[in-house]
Amino acid sequence: MSHPPLDYGYVPGVLPAMIDLARRQRAKDRLVVEKLADCFRPGPILEIGAGCGQLTDLLRQRHLDVTASDVQPFFVDYMVAQGLPALVVDALDLSAGIEKPYDNIFSQSISTLINPDPETIRRTYESVRAALNPGGRFVFILPSRWGEHWSKASDHEQIAQAAGLPLLRRFHNQALPSRFYARLPISALRIIEGSIGRIVGVSWVLVFARPS
């Protein structure tokens, strides 16, 4: 049974605010993608729930083959206008929107995984597994290491495992509030993130792998 995509409150009027948020977080995101680059296996990458495409843009600057996607056409139109390859894709049925499976899929805070409905979370992980090649990776940034009562890292690990995506590794990310990343030297930030950030960072990076 197919389900119509949900908008999760993302209507065209939010675009200016999302663009501004992406601009303010760019310094932090530049460090995030340095960590993400080590999590992927060789091969094409699909970002789901890309919004304005800021992470796809930064990863492509590192010469990675990344395609952005979002369920909202206005986000995709914006990303294409910025020169990014982008697709309209529903995270609950990824295979319907892509031509072939990917070696890597990643997402930051996508609504279908930051969700109080366990069924939606389960369907998302199953959709991701179906859209990955055997041995492929799914890298997910869970925005709070503490989690809501319905969105803890341990809950995601269990649901993903049941969906056929066992956990490969996980680590903390982002030791400082976002505003500090544009104020401190990049060398100092790398040291902070590589040490303190991996222990007390405010978010989780979860790396799942589809078995070969």
User: How would residue 144 be classed by pLDDT, with cut points 50, 70 and 90?
Assistant: confident
Which pLDDT tens digit goes with each residue over 86-124? 999 999 999 999 999 999 999 998 999 998 999 999 999
**Is pLDDT above 80 for 5?**
no
In a domain, 6, yes or no: no
In a domain, 133, yes or no: yes
- Output the average pLDDT for the chain: 92
Interval 26-37 mean pLDDT: 92
Which CATH number does the domain housing residue 185 bear?
3.40.50.150
Put simply, whether the predicted model's pTM sits higher than 0.85 gets the answer: yes
Domain range for 185: 21-209
Interval 32-37 mean pLDDT: 90
Residue 181 CB burial class (10 angstroms; 0-12, 13-18, ≥19): buried
In a domain, 79, yes or no: yes
Q: What is the pLDDT at residue 1? A: 41
In a domain, 4, yes or no: no
In a domain, 186, yes or no: yes
Which pLDDT tens digit goes with each residue over 161-175? 999 999 999 999 999
Q: What is the pLDDT at residue 2? A: 45
Q: What is the pLDDT at residue 9? A: 67
In a domain, 88, yes or no: yes
Q: Cα-atom radius of gyration of the chain, to the nearest Å?
A: 16
- Residue with the larger pLDDT of the pair 146 and 87: 87
In a domain, 127, yes or no: yes
Between the CA of residue 164 and those of 112, 123, 176, 208, what are the distances in Å?
Answer: 18, 12, 34, 9
Percent of the chain, pLDDT > 70? 96
Beta strands per DSSP E along 12-166:
45-47, 66-70, 86-88, 102-108, 132-142
User: How would residue 28 be classed by pLDDT, with cut points 50, 70 and 90?
Assistant: very high
Sign of CA dihedral 53, 4, 105, 131: negative
User: How would residue 150 be classed by pLDDT, with cut points 50, 70 and 90?
Assistant: confident
In a domain, 14, yes or no: no
User: How would residue 59 be classed by pLDDT, with cut points 50, 70 and 90?
Assistant: very high
Interval 28-37 mean pLDDT: 91
- In the chain, the number of structural domains is 1
